[in-house]
Structure 1
Amino acid sequence: MTDSTPDIRPAYRTDLDGLRGVAIALVACFHVWFGKVSGGVDVFLTLSGYFFVGSLLRHAIASADPVATFRDTLNPWPRLSRLLRRLLPALVTVLIGVAIGALILLPQTRWVSIGREIIASALYFQNYYLAWNSQDYLAASSDNSPLQHLWSMSMQGQFFVATMLFALVLAAALKLLGTLLPAFTKASVIRTVIGVVVVVIAAASFYHATVQQGANQPYNYYDTLARLWEPLAGGLLAVWMPSVRLPSWLRTLITVGALALIVSCGWWIDGVAEYPGPMAWVPVGATLLIIWSGSGTAPRPAANRALASRQGVWLGNLAYALYLIHWPLLIFYLAYADSDHATFIEGTCILAVSLGMAWLVKRYIEDPLRGGNRSPLAARHWPGRPRIRYAAIMSAFLVLGAAVVGTGAKLWEHHMSTVAIGTEDIDPHLYPGARAWIDEIPVPARDPQPTPLAAEFDLAPTTADGVMSDFADLDFHVGVYGDPDAERTIAVAGGSHAEMWVPALDIIGKRNGFKVTTYLKMGCPLTLEKNPTRIDGTPYPECTTWVRKVLDELERVRPDAVFTNSTRPRPDGPADYVPPGYLEVFDELTAAGIPVIAIRDTPWPHDDDGRPINTPGCLADGGDAHSCGSERAAALALVDPITDYALLNPLLHPLDMSDHVCDETFCPAIVGNIIVYKDFHHLGATYVRSLSSALSRALEAELPWTGPSFGPFD
């Protein structure tokens, strides 16, 4: 370096280890007891950026030295190998443990999704797997994924690798510039260039996070591009640490205030809805203040010294392993106890066991495989020259990685074998489904179809054909079913609860000579509600835009009828109702002279405590038609709620198929040897096909042109 003042490696900050301990305590306690986002993960991200960008900055400054070669500057392997030794041993160990736990404690219907998440977590794209599947990070329950928390590990892994590669290229570019312009060999100039780059990228990421928060927050929560500004904010502090002389008591006050913000923000900020948008500045900014308040060569403030206590540092050193372990342990316990919440005593035991397991993982797996003088086991179990030890470490990684991939492959093979079982051509005499009730057909003793393992994939053809818009898609994609050459058309419009009727409408249309077109969007019923939400309550503005486009298109093409849902379960109590936004749609379409076929939504299965039932999972876990079913009165009003409106609007044709899903008092999980639901609330395609004759008769009664009904085995 040519600066007169050398760039000195900063002193090790044990108080920041203690801050890690505070962060992991918040994360674990909020997960176990409170079902909220604490802000602890944002503390981790900020600290990671501070340490990692600082390390890369020192590398760039050292690379400016003429002694350093371009090969040394650009070579990523020394840092990447250290990163792998730091991250992989504990992660792969936990993934193997989760695979074993899933096989023992979770129903077979969940093995496929767990296998996918094991692979996603091992390859560091779990955050995007969850984002694509819109799995919101909410309170723990027995139905949560035991790997859901690894989104943050994936995000940090992506940040580490991308930032490292970018920084190495930037360091090489600065070194090349230094051969032409000596000013670029100065540490101060290098620091300034890197600082400007960090500020620009962080500002772009923050802008992206803020915009996406109002557009697609469930995706935004997991998005690395939206989260990038948080570690870069910490990295900026490593590049430029403000030097302001303040008395020790004032710095202590700053640290205490910042800690209070970090500890309390989980109570007054809805992290799932707000992070990583502007409100994330609360935990991020508080972390920056703590880092700054304890910086410099002067004696650290009393609060920072308290963070550096032996207990705080011990917990901080266990933070990584404890983060990995506590969540799957919680989920497995809830599954074993068949509960959605842990009591105070249960939660305390879970945390205690998690701490013990985290210590074992760090002591006997992380430290030996990481190597170095800090671990007494390193010299004992990994003797010899560095290359020999390195080969042993890499061999261990390969063995562990093979176990994970092998488990995932086995689960995938099992998945493919279950999906291969088709149900479109099953014998209606053996598997009458709804026809057992409609036409009083005897039901022989047979295992139900599809199997509980395959029921998840018992889908309407629109899914395979890719004509359903996803959550972010603002356009509609028209599918054509029934008789594609027919003159008359029924347009199916809305969300997945309209889509699930397509298998029956396809059959009826082909038999009775009308075309079925589809206008479908995930989680978006046909409603003119001003502020629609998804099923989990998060805002869904894309639905508003999409519905408006679809209504305009329907009024332009003028189908002979629009088929859509008329009811939903009441959000605050039993039975069902007609949302006002649905009525606005019915008013608009019928005012345009377009008949509406308004089908009542089917019951959403719940147990006696009001908890939703995943029917295939319940059956795979040893349940039966009754124990996995639900009471009719808890899901349906005595009379179809659309009845009064239909009496006043002759173009509104109500359909109610409830009597073909439930008897007088109960809605069983299996009817006529066919599993009724494919998940928590969607009818399976096989059961819907068995409803074809009943739906045809109901349609013909309302709209005679739909054609004659047909027999029980058609």
Structure 2
Amino acid sequence: MAATTPTTASTHRAPADNVPAYRTDLDGLRGIAIALVACFHVWFGRVSGGVDVFLVLSGYFFVGSLLRHAIHSQATHVTLRDTINPWPRLKRLLRRLIPALFTVLIAVAVLTVVVIPQTRWVSIGRELIASALYYQNWHLAFNSQDYLAASSANSPLQHIWSMSVQGQFFVLTLVVALAFAALIKLVARFIAPVADPRAIRLLVGLAVLAVALVSFYWAHMRMGVNQQFNYYDTFSRLWEPLAGGLLAIWLPSWRVPRWLRTVTAVVALALIVTCGWWIDGVNAYPGPWALVPVGSTLLIIWAGATALERPRAGTPAPQGLPPVNRMLASRWPVWLGTIAYALYLWHWPLLIFYLTWREKNHANFIEGVGLLALSVGLAWLTKRYIEDPLRGGRAEPAHARRDGRRQWVTYTSVVTSVLVIGTLVTGIGIKVWDHRVATMVVDTKNLDPRTYPGARALLEGWPVPAVDPQPSPLMVTQDFPETSTDGYMSDFEDPRIHVGVYGDPTATRTIALIGGSHAEMWISALDLLGQRNHFKVTTYLKMGCPMSTELVPKQDGVPYPECHDWVMRVVDKVIADDPDAVFTNATRPRDYQPGDWVPPTYPPIFDEFIASGIEVFGIRDTPWPHNAQGLIDTPTCLADGGSATSCATRRAVALAPENPADELAATRPMFHALDLSDGVCDAEICPAVVGNIVVYKDWHHLSATYVRSLTDELGRQMAATAPWTAPPGP
């Protein structure tokens, strides 16, 4: 949400020079909106609709201001240069938005180092840069982060997405408006006068209406395509501030009874306050359901504006405001509205850092009250000592020199210097840390198995010496399978089939490793087995794309049609390449109940290979770490002080008692069911660390180091069903 010009008045002030009366009731509406946003984040884990109120108000004020500039610029004394010069308005925007934002970003950087495990520093550092440069919404969109209930795993900067949307809207609208004003100025100079305000309003209004309608259609259409992306998409959100802009351009001047305005304002405010409970904002906004908070905001603006028609210069506005607008213009809502920008910036990171520090996913009532009180206090301090001085809202302390010379050391200069230096230090620190992590090389191929037995500790009872596990929680995040580092894994947008060759490239026998990332992670073991037992391993891999006949597969709930096309092409190519066997996943976790299963879309793929004379190694998927609180990011859990058991998963919850793929093997002689669950879990739990090796590199992929410790058991099971994969005889 954008900052606004502060005011201490509780009544409307009359306009001058065609500037509308100042709407303190809209300051109050902003205060109600920020209260809803903060309370819903802290206690209810839902989207309140308050952000949509902010967007509409921003559009109403900003577009109205630019329209007045476009009309005023037609006066003969305004030069073309002054008409198109963006700096005065851009400077005001920067003064309003940057100081508080950078203050919070510096605080987030410091608290991240103090509270957040190192495994998350890179992602938060990148979000700090995205937030500072106003593209955080795109960063989140492309990373598909859900903006749901707060938990210790959320980013402390997710909420900045709306600031980025508004910043992009301000700059884009400013450039377009100044270009339009310049065009009118040129037309008036060289062709014909175009100074009629009604004509200008009509042209601007039609243009804004057209863009808003296209944006609304886009937002509605994209809901069924990729709602996670759609939620953050600037173009999908554009219709909301433009709706406010349309009201600023074409505010109806109908004379209506006071009772009708009163009923309208009451209903509108009630909808704003309650819509967070009966609309699932994350899955519904910014589609048609967003018309509820957007339309309600427009109605409140209209209800108050109709009572302010034609006030006389120098006199107070008429007192015919509906009761709701009078309530919004009262002291406390207006005061809350004046700190709304800073409060919006502070409340979310404080909540996330507190939950992380307390290792909780929810704040109780008392904790929530304390967090909100602290947020309000910091917001007031930020406004009083950061925002106001740097935007010129509060006079400098009087330290004028008697000789009349300019005083360089002032309160404003000191605060500005601190912010600039703090921002530079933060930015440099982020880049240094990002480079350090990016250049980390995990070299664990030659670990001594007597010190780091890994899976051998579970499978064969090897002793486990007391040493620190490898790779470290920070390093394990970079422990990728060979195909990832070699570039043989197609990403989500890449339709190509990249074939890698591993094992013994000169061998006459071949195993094709096919599927998604949960098939890919076994290359570290298959490569070793191929070298030992003299078979070649070819790879056909794509992110998030298991071998399935599903027509519209989904990735994190988002339709992923590229996957189906890729799978069909891979099946044809593998059959044409004619390997001796394929190796792929045969099971996956159930979505809404314990255990794992063979999805019915998997066996048709297996049968197609078998019909072509190709054996199938179907490996059981490993457990996806989770507990009663949700998914577990193993490296972060360990870095945050967790242990092998506290970061573990219960086996009975993650896995069925028997391998679900055994039924396929019983009816298909050329299908070989492989199950390495006993190398990842004991009878009760699936630990985060086994045999001094960290098991998972992220939320659900095995580390390459741990996969290598499973090589012998994988080779034993393969040889038991397909003897040609065993070591050659003497």
Kindly tell me: are residues 275 and 387 of structure 1, through their superposed partners in 2, closer, same or farther at Cα, counting changes over 3 Å?
A: farther
Amino acid at match of 1:334: L
User: What root-mean-square deviation, in Å, do the aligned CA atoms of Structure 1 and Structure 2 show?
Assistant: 2.9
Amino acid at match of 1:139: A
Amino acid at match of 1:410: G
Q: How far did residue 468 of structure 1 move? A: 4.0
- The separation in 2 between residues aligned to 1:615 and 1:327, in whole angstroms, is 24
Which of 262, 269, 274 is 1:259 aligned to?
A: 269
Amino acid at match of 1:677: Y
- The separation in 2 between residues aligned to 1:243 and 1:587, in whole angstroms, is 71
Q: How far did residue 545 of structure 1 move? A: 5.1
Identity across the alignment (%): 58
Q: How far did residue 74 of structure 1 move? A: 1.6
Q: How far did residue 336 of structure 1 move? A: 1.7
Q: How far did residue 76 of structure 1 move? A: 1.3
- The separation in 2 between residues aligned to 1:395 and 1:131, in whole angstroms, is 37
Kindly tell me: are residues 180 and 594 of structure 1, through their superposed partners in 2, closer, same or farther at Cα, counting changes over 3 Å?
A: farther
Amino acid at match of 1:107: P
Q: Which structure 2 residues correspond to residues 293-692 of structure 1 after superposition, within 5 A?
A: 293-296=303-306, 297-298=308-309, 299-372=320-393, 375=394, 378-380=395-397, 393=412, 396-397=415-416, 399-418=418-437, 419-429=439-449, 430-438=451-459, 441-471=462-492, 473=493, 475-482=495-502, 483=504, 488-511=509-532, 512-522=534-544, 524-529=545-550, 532-535=553-556, 537=557, 540=560, 543-544=563-564, 546-551=566-571, 553-554=573-574, 559-591=579-611, 593-607=613-627, 609-692=628-711
Amino acid at match of 1:78: P
Which of 201, 214, 221 is 2:231 aligned to?
A: 221
- The separation in 2 between residues aligned to 1:203 and 1:60, in whole angstroms, is 23
Amino acid at match of 1:188: R
- The separation in 2 between residues aligned to 1:46 and 1:386, in whole angstroms, is 46
- The separation in 2 between residues aligned to 1:588 and 1:41, in whole angstroms, is 51
- The separation in 2 between residues aligned to 1:526 and 1:379, in whole angstroms, is 68
For residues 668-699 of structure 1, give each alpha carbon's deviation from its aligned partner in whole angstroms, at most 9, with x where no partner exists. 22223221111222111221223223223323
Q: Which structure 2 residues correspond to residues 43-82 of structure 1 after superposition, within 5 A?
A: 43-82=53-92
- The separation in 1 between residues aligned to 2:79 and 2:231, in whole angstroms, is 41
Q: How far did residue 556 of structure 1 move? A: 5.5
Q: How far did residue 304 of structure 1 move? A: 1.7
Kindly tell me: are residues 148 and 13 of structure 1, through their superposed partners in 2, closer, same or farther at Cα, counting changes over 3 Å?
A: same
Q: How far did residue 506 of structure 1 move? A: 3.3
Q: How far did residue 313 of structure 1 move? A: 0.9
Q: SS of the counterpart of 2:638?
A: helix
Aligned residues: 697
Contact 1:7 1:187 in 2 (8 A): no
- The separation in 1 between residues aligned to 2:407 and 2:146, in whole angstroms, is 45
Kindly tell me: are residues 643 and 53 of structure 1, through their superposed partners in 2, closer, same or farther at Cα, counting changes over 3 Å?
A: same
- The separation in 2 between residues aligned to 1:93 and 1:56, in whole angstroms, is 29
- The separation in 2 between residues aligned to 1:675 and 1:264, in whole angstroms, is 47
- Aligned residue in 2 for 1:702: 721
Kindly tell me: are residues 600 and 310 of structure 1, through their superposed partners in 2, closer, same or farther at Cα, counting changes over 3 Å?
A: same
Q: Which structure 2 residues correspond to residues 9-24 of structure 1 after superposition, within 5 A?
A: 9-24=19-34
Q: How far did residue 399 of structure 1 move? A: 3.6
For residues 248-279 of structure 1, give each alpha carbon's deviation from its aligned partner in whole angstroms, at most 9, with x where no partner exists. 11112112222222222222222222222222
Q: Are residues 1:151 and 2:151 paired?
A: no
Q: SS of the counterpart of 1:201?
A: helix
Amino acid at match of 1:194: V
Amino acid at match of 1:380: P
- Aligned residue in 1 for 2:313: none
Higher mean C-alpha displacement, 65-74 vs 427-436: 427-436
- The separation in 2 between residues aligned to 1:467 and 1:288, in whole angstroms, is 53
- The separation in 2 between residues aligned to 1:643 and 1:660, in whole angstroms, is 18
- The separation in 2 between residues aligned to 1:213 and 1:459, in whole angstroms, is 34
Q: How far did residue 301 of structure 1 move? A: 2.1
- Aligned residue in 2 for 1:112: 122
Amino acid at match of 1:39: G
Q: How far did residue 223 of structure 1 move? A: 1.4
Higher mean C-alpha displacement, 628-637 vs 170-179: 628-637
Q: SS of the counterpart of 1:581?
A: coil
- Aligned residue in 2 for 1:164: 174
For residues 410-441 of structure 1, give each alpha carbon's deviation from its aligned partner in whole angstroms, at most 9, with x where no partner exists. 24433443552422433334434234445655
- The separation in 2 between residues aligned to 1:549 and 1:287, in whole angstroms, is 51
Contact 1:206 1:229 in 2 (8 A): yes
**TM-score in terms of structure 1 length:** 0.90
Q: How far did residue 402 of structure 1 move? A: 3.3
Contact 1:255 1:289 in 2 (8 A): yes
Higher mean C-alpha displacement, 629-638 vs 433-442: 433-442
Contact 1:491 1:519 in 2 (8 A): no
- Aligned residue in 1 for 2:144: 134
- Aligned residue in 1 for 2:9: none
Q: How far did residue 153 of structure 1 move? A: 0.8
Q: SS of the counterpart of 1:182?
A: coil
- The separation in 1 between residues aligned to 2:134 and 2:511, in whole angstroms, is 45
Kindly tell me: are residues 508 and 65 of structure 1, through their superposed partners in 2, closer, same or farther at Cα, counting changes over 3 Å?
A: farther
Contact 1:7 1:58 in 2 (8 A): no
- Aligned residue in 2 for 1:97: 107
- The separation in 2 between residues aligned to 1:259 and 1:631, in whole angstroms, is 48
- The separation in 2 between residues aligned to 1:134 and 1:456, in whole angstroms, is 19
Q: Which runs of 5+ in 1 are unaligned?
A: 1-5
Kindly tell me: are residues 495 and 334 of structure 1, through their superposed partners in 2, closer, same or farther at Cα, counting changes over 3 Å?
A: same
Q: How far did residue 138 of structure 1 move? A: 1.3
Q: How far did residue 407 of structure 1 move? A: 2.6
For residues 609-668 of structure 1, give each alpha carbon's deviation from its aligned partner in whole angstroms, at most 9, with x where no partner exists. 353322111221222223322332232222111212321222322111111112233322
Q: How far did residue 388 of structure 1 move? A: 7.6
Q: SS of the counterpart of 1:516?
A: strand
- The separation in 2 between residues aligned to 1:255 and 1:556, in whole angstroms, is 69
Q: How far did residue 46 of structure 1 move? A: 1.1
Contact 1:215 1:542 in 2 (8 A): no
Q: How far did residue 323 of structure 1 move? A: 0.8
Q: SS of the counterpart of 1:446?
A: coil
Contact 2:396 2:411 in 1 (8 A): no
Amino acid at match of 1:599: I
Contact 2:60 2:248 in 1 (8 A): yes
Amino acid at match of 1:84: L
Higher mean C-alpha displacement, 659-668 vs 230-239: 659-668
